[in-house]
């Protein structure tokens, strides 16, 4: 005897325990639901039991996630509107987790559509149910991870997502007006699933018209032949505000049919950005050559992104992705680890001089505003942004921890050289004794760890330079500070 299956929560059933024929499925008590009804009911169950709804999404708990929740409960098709690197694609890819673990479909040879056993939409599916006994109609099961498909808009053709006349079927004798002559695109194949279109404004206008028809009537028209499919599909979109709001990029009729527009955003505070940066960095800090990252270095990396998002020299319509912080964080760790391997420092500790390698991980992710940069090169713009970030973090430490006491140590009129490949022992002569405020200020063991102390020395020097208290020069990768 089969268990009642409306698989709203994960049930551990082997393939052999699932109904294999339409008769067995009927005996199991399984009931058909639309994909939006399925998501709504499963979402409500997870909401009621306090489950984590969108794992890995940081900083959206009180802004984006409540809006998505309402859209799912309302049964809307959704547009995620935001600049690059705000998690739009990740949000779309998380929605299939609210689908049933598996759903049944008619196992028909050559049928591209996963037919609802109780409500088939194709000619083949309807004929099978009408003409064959239920004991002879095979049932297969479609897992949730296969019920989601996405497409990037640039280059997408009508045939890719809607369908096209199949020349092979015509050659075999099928009529051009017959369903058998059609080759279905992604959306019909996602019947009873989710389909996502990234960068909607870049989609050809003809394809937008096809999407409008699906959103409005849930039917498909291919080459002028109206194929009245009652498609059951939830459609998701993503777009950048700069292009979505530009006149003519998205046809008004399509905009009007999208149920909910969810506005995403960058982290609202620095700590949130650091959490994302640490979460998404796939480089382990332990191992044979461990790395210990001081908190102030994490703050500087994230502050670089925050300053870039406000810089008049950078095109803000393009945005500064969260991947900018992540890539820079990875580069900083890699630079410190290289030093640790070369000089035998355990653990290796990132320094300000490691930021000199951020050009490789940064410049490809920034678009310079040519009207405002006044002939500044990309590297000069990035240097200015890094300097602003160091200054912002340094001034916070000065205000909170009285770093003026520490800065006096460097005010003896000497010339100090620092660099990413200089050993930490080089800094010992610069700082014979660590003042008590040092450990409180940097939240690291600077008194006992030479590598930490070297990182703190560079931070103070860079901060004094950023606040225009000392001068700085660079030659052959070595930075000199004149005090």
Give the model confidence (pLDDT) of 351-392 as tens digits: 999 999 999 999 988 888 766 656 788 899 999 999 999 999
pLDDT at residue 135, rounded to an integer = 94
Residues 149, 36: Cα–Cα separation, whole Å: 16
Q: What residues contact residue 269 under an 8 Å CB cut-off, 6+ apart?
A: 59
Checking DSSP bridges between strand 415-418 and strand 478-482, what pairing results, if any? antiparallel
Per-residue pLDDT of 127-140, as tens digits, reads 999 999 999 999 99
The pLDDT tens digits of the residues spanning 6-53 come to 544 444 445 568 999 999 999 999 999 999 999 999 999 999 999 999
Task: Read off the pTM.
Answer: 0.87
Mean pLDDT of 240-264: 92
Q: How far apart are CA 377 and CA 26, in angstroms?
A: 69
Residues of the chain by 3-state class (helix, strand, coil), percent to 5: 45, 15, 40
Give residues with Cβ within 8 angstroms of 161, minimum separation 6.
151, 185, 186, 187, 195, 197, 207, 210, 211
How far lies 282's CA from each of 234, 278, 314, 326, 327, in Å?
A: 32, 8, 28, 9, 10
* Per-residue pLDDT at 211 exceeds 60: yes
pLDDT over 90 percentage in the chain: 57
pLDDT value, residue 272: 95
DSSP labels for 50-113?
T--SSTT--S-TTTHHHHHHHHHHHT--EEEE--TTSSHHHHHHHGGGGS-SEEEEE--TT--S
Please give the domain boundaries of the chain with CATH numbers for all domains: 32-99+147-263 (3.40.50.300), 270-482 (no CATH)
């Amino acid at each position: 005897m089969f268990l009642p299956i409306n698989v709203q929560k994960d049930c551990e059933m082997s393939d052999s325990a699932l109904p294999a024929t339409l008769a067995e499925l009927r005996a199991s008590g399984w009931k058909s639901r639309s994909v939006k009804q399925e998501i709504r009911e499963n979402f409500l169950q997870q909401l009621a039991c306090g489950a984590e709804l969108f794992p890995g999404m940081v900083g959206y708990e009180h802004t984006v996630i409540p809006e998505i929740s309402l859209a799912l409960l309302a049964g809307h098709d959704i547009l995620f509107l935001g600049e690059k690197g705000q998690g739009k694609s990740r949000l779309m890819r998380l929605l299939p987790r609210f689908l049933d673990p598996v759903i049944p479909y008619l196992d028909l040879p050559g049928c591209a559509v996963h037919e609802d056993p109780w409500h088939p939409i194709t000619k083949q599916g309807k004929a099978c149910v009408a003409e064959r006994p239920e004991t002879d109609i095979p049932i297969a099961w479609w897992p949730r991870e296969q019920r989601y498909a996405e497409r990037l808009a640039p280059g997408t053709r009508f045939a890719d997502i809607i369908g096209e006349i199949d020349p092979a079927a015509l050659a075999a004798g099928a009529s051009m007006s017959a369903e058998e002559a059609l080759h279905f695109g992604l959306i019909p194949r996602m019947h009873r699933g989710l389909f996502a279109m990234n960068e909607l404004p870049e989609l050809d206008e003809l394809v937008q018209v096809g999407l409008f028809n699906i959103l409005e009537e849930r039917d498909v028209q291919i080459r002028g032949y109206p194929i009245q499919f009652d498609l059951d599909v939830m459609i998701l979109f993503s777009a950048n505000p700069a292009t979505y709001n530009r006149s003519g990029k998205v046809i008004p009729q399509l905009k009007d049919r999208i149920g909910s527009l969810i506005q995403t955003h960058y982290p609202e505070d620095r700590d949130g950005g650091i959490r994302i940066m640490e979460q998404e960095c796939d480089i382990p800090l332990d191992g044979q050559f461990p790395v210990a990252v001081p908190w102030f270095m994490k703050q500087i990396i994230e502050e670089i992104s925050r300053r870039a998002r406000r810089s008049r020299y950078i095109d803000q319509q393009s945005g500064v992705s969260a991947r900018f912080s992540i890539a820079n964080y990875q580069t900083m760790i890699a630079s410190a680890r290289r030093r640790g391997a070369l000089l035998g420092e355990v653990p290796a500790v990132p320094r300000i001089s490691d930021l000199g390698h951020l050009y490789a991980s940064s410049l490809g992710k920034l678009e310079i505003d040519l009207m405002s940069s006044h002939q500044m090169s990309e590297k000069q713009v990035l240097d200015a942004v890094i300097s602003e970030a160091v200054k912002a973090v340094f001034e916070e430490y000065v205000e909170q921890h009285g770093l003026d006491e520490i800065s006096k140590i460097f005010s003896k009129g000497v010339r100090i050289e620092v660099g990413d490949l200089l050993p930490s022992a080089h800094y010992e002569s610069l700082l014979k004794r660590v003042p008590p405020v040092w450990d409180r200020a940097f939240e690291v063991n600077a008194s006992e760890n030479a590598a930490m102390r070297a990182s703190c020395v560079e931070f103070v020097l860079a901060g004094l330079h950023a606040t225009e208290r000392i001068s700085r020069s660079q030659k052959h990768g070595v930075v000199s500070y004149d005090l």
